[in-house]
A and B are shown apart, each in its own frame.
Chain A
Amino acid sequence: MNLTFAFFDWGVVSGFILKGLVFSVQLTLVAMVGGIALGTLIALMRLSSKRWLVLPAAAYVNTLRSIPLVMVILWFFLLIPLLIGRPLGAEISAMITFTVFEAAYYSEIMRAGIQSVPKGQVSAGYAVGMNYAQCMRFIVLPQAFRNMLPVLLTQTIILFQDTSLVYAVGAYDLLKGFEVAGKNFNRPVETYLLAALVYFVICFSLSMLVRQLQRRIAIIR
């Protein structure tokens, strides 16, 4: 068959694609910020010396990491209305789902980051009179973030790719934008190809940037 991309003009981009792109980026940013915050908290719980903090944190991470993301999306889409008594919409539901889900993955990264800080630094912090919170806030976490920055960003690129799975609950994301445009102009083959191209360009350039960052951080260290 012959491919024609003539229909794909600015009108299509602004009418179908941009709306989806904005949501995909929003979802990625919300889940990244929320996921790293929640993930750091869970990592700290897991590394604490109190069993009642360690066990729930470990259960949280291990459970979420052994369920497929699509199933987690479906679970939340089913449970949230049951719990709050009214439907919440696929978009908001997706933001909650991705934050909770990604927190499990970010927490494993942060755990590795925190563990990479030498123990002596914590002892030094206590020795100069800091308490636990100050030690974490001023000594451990800044270094953990810095060491793990490339890994956190790589996880965020994966997160951006995974946002396409909101397809399961029909949220309007970047992929959906291409799909709707394809249906409208009866050109599904072309729009799927373009979708693949756009995702590739975004993810490939971001991963190049991460690689460069990694090189710079490695030299300074």
Chain B
Amino acid sequence: MSWDWQVFFQDTGSGQTYFNWMMSAWGWTLLVSACALVVALAFGSLMGILRTTPVRAFVWIGNAWTELFRNIPLLVQIFLWYHVIPSLFRPLQAVPDFIAVVIALGFFTSARISEQVKAGIQALPRGQRYAGLAVGLTLPQTYRYVLLPMAFRIIVPPLTSESMNIVKNSSVAFAVSITELTFFAMQAQEETARGVEIYLAVTFLYFISAFAINRVAAVVEKRVRVPGMIGGGK
């Protein structure tokens, strides 16, 4: 077979080229991923913290949250937020599709982040918590000033791979017609029958996105590493 990269300069029929469409699809992929990452970090941290508190009810809530969102496939969760929740709660029908996908992807990822936050906190010597409490800090203060600053620095590497996973997982949004990269790939492949060129371009954009996150994270990791730990520098 022969290459035909001209396909990207063809008109889609709505006054833009496939190249323009692909760039806007890339934008959607990055936007969905970034918003979902914010949701996932917020809920994942909260649930991870709850699971390490001495309050049993909190631990239960954190565990239940994690198990719930970890044991249902992402695609099914997207359908739940997109089809099921709006028809059970009428007022939510006005919520745009984009928000439904961000919540689905965010909550799904929050379950994994909660595991890492929990592991990060538990990796600290128990004495740190006791020391915080012993000098008169309240439990929230102990978390805020003693435990979390260390825990988050420890878990930067797994959080990086979760951020890269979010970009990859955002591809599942094709199922509810968010015009992100994978949706573009499927549509453009059908319309132009130049699947190989289009898939190559889309795959390349996923590569760049993941690679960019990887580089940013490497800088962050270098700046926040803890001196004295393995891999912590001087």
Interface residues of A (CB under 8 A from B): 1, 3, 66-71, 74-75, 78-79, 82, 161-162, 164-165, 167-168, 175, 188-189, 192-193, 195-196, 199-200, 203-204, 207
Q: Could you tell me if B76 and A195 are in contact, using CB atoms closer than 8 angstroms?
A: yes
Bound-state CA distance A55–B174 (Å) is: 34
Partner of B186, one of A165, A168, A189: A168
Q: From known contacts A69-B168, A78-B195, A192-B80, infer whether A161 and B74 are also in contact, taking CB-CB under 8 Å.
A: yes
Q: Could you tell me if B76 and A175 are in contact, using CB atoms closer than 8 angstroms?
A: yes
Q: Is the interface of B mostly helix, strand, loop or mixed?
A: helix
Q: Could you tell me if A199 and B196 are in contact, using CB atoms closer than 8 angstroms?
A: no
**In this assembly, does B52 line the interface, its C-beta being within 8 Å of a C-beta of chain A?**
no
Q: From known contacts A188-B83, A192-B79, infer whether A75 and B172 are also in contact, taking CB-CB under 8 Å.
A: no
Size of the B side of the interface (Cβ < 8 Å), in residues, is 40
Which residue on chain A has the smallest CB distance to residue B195?
Answer: A78
**In this assembly, does B84 line the interface, its C-beta being within 8 Å of a C-beta of chain A?**
yes
Q: How far is the CB of B76 from chain A (nearest CB, A)?
A: 5
Which residue on chain A has the smallest CB distance to residue B196?
Answer: A78
Q: In the complex, identify which listed stretch (B14-22, B53-61, B199-207, B226-234) lies at the interface while the others stay far away.
A: B199-207
CB contacts (< 8 Å) of B138 on chain A: these are none
Q: Could you tell me if B88 and A200 are in contact, using CB atoms closer than 8 angstroms?
A: no
Q: How far is the CB of B175 from chain A (nearest CB, A)?
A: 6
Partner of A192, one of B71, B76, B185, B195: B76
**In this assembly, does B67 line the interface, its C-beta being within 8 Å of a C-beta of chain A?**
yes
Partner of B71, one of A1, A82, A199: A199
Q: From known contacts A70-B171, A192-B84, infer whether A199 and B73 are also in contact, taking CB-CB under 8 Å.
A: yes
CB contacts (< 8 Å) of A78 on chain B: these are 189, 195-196, 199
CB contacts (< 8 Å) of A192 on chain B: these are 76, 79-80, 83-84
Bound-state CA distance A11–B140 (Å) is: 54
Report the 5 A-B pairs with minimum CB-CB distance, sorted nearest first: A68-B171, A203-B71, A161-B73, A68-B168, A164-B73
Which residue on chain A has the smallest CB distance to residue B214?
Answer: A66
Q: Could you tell me if A168 and B68 are in contact, using CB atoms closer than 8 angstroms?
A: no
Q: Could you tell me if A199 and B206 are in contact, using CB atoms closer than 8 angstroms?
A: no
**In this assembly, does B1 line the interface, its C-beta being within 8 Å of a C-beta of chain A?**
yes
Q: How far is the CB of B201 from chain A (nearest CB, A)?
A: 11
Bound-state CA distance A71–B1 (Å) is: 21
Q: From known contacts A1-B88, A71-B185, infer whether A165 and B203 are also in contact, taking CB-CB under 8 Å.
A: no
Bound-state CA distance A70–B74 (Å) is: 12
Bound-state CA distance A157–B74 (Å) is: 13
Q: Could you tell me if B189 and A200 are in contact, using CB atoms closer than 8 angstroms?
A: no
Partner of A67, one of B80, B168, B211: B168
Q: Give B187-202 interface residues, CB cut-off 8 Å to A.
A: 189, 195-196, 199, 202
Q: Could you tell me if A75 and B199 are in contact, using CB atoms closer than 8 angstroms?
A: yes
Bound-state CA distance A189–B36 (Å) is: 24
Q: Could you tell me if B87 and A70 are in contact, using CB atoms closer than 8 angstroms?
A: no
Q: Could you tell me if A66 and B210 are in contact, using CB atoms closer than 8 angstroms?
A: yes
Q: Could you tell me if A165 and B72 are in contact, using CB atoms closer than 8 angstroms?
A: no
